[in-house]
Amino acid sequence: AQRVTQPEKLLSVFKGAPVELKCNYSYSGSPELFWYVQYSRQRLQLLLRHISRESIKGFTADLNKGETSFHLKKPFAQEEDSAMYYCALSGRAGSGGYQKVTFGTGTKLQVIP
């Protein structure tokens, strides 16, 4: 079974402060992990994926298989980072090679000016 846990519903930080959005997962195989973001009045969209190992808008996330975590980090929060963030896991489900994508409950990031 696949499970994604985001323990924080709301995270409030001051502008310029570091940000860490927590994500833990449960999956028996080799997962692919993602962070999606939804800004106000915009579509849910991909922020980054662990296999790309890239920094997007200053955000990074490292897959830690030992701790089964994929926390999202940014050293200095900006007001435009305020949004809803979802951690997601893609893994094979069933015998047909179907890729099931499971999302966490989301964390609302509020950056205080």
Partner 1 sequence: SQTIHQWPATLVQPVGSPLSLECTVEGTSNPNLYWYRQAAGRGLQLLFYSVGIGQISSEVPQNLSASRPQDRQFILSSKKLLLSDSGFYLCAWRERGGTGANVLTFGAGSRLTVL
> Which one of 13, 88, 109, 111 is in contact with partner 1 (CB under 8 A)?
88
Q: Which stretch binds partner 1 (CB under 8 A): 22-30, 45-53, 58-66, 74-82?
A: 45-53
> Is residue 71 a contact point for partner 1 (CB under 8 A)?
no
> Is residue 29 a contact point for partner 1 (CB under 8 A)?
no
Buried b (16+ CB within 10 A) or exposed e, 36-59: bbbeeeeeeeebbbbeeeeeeeeb
> Is residue 1 a contact point for partner 1 (CB under 8 A)?
no
Q: Shortest approach of partner 1 to residue 10 CB, angstroms?
A: 10
Helices and strands, number each (H, E), in the chain? 0, 11
Distance CA 22, CA 77 (A): 15
Q: Which stretch binds partner 1 (CB under 8 A): 18-26, 53-61, 71-79, 93-101?
A: 93-101
Q: Shortest approach of partner 1 to residue 66 CB, angstroms?
A: 23
Distance CA 38, CA 84 (A): 5
CB 86 within 8 A of CB 35: yes
List of residues contacting partner 1 (CB under 8 A)? 6, 9, 32, 34, 36, 43-46, 49, 86, 88, 90, 96, 98-106
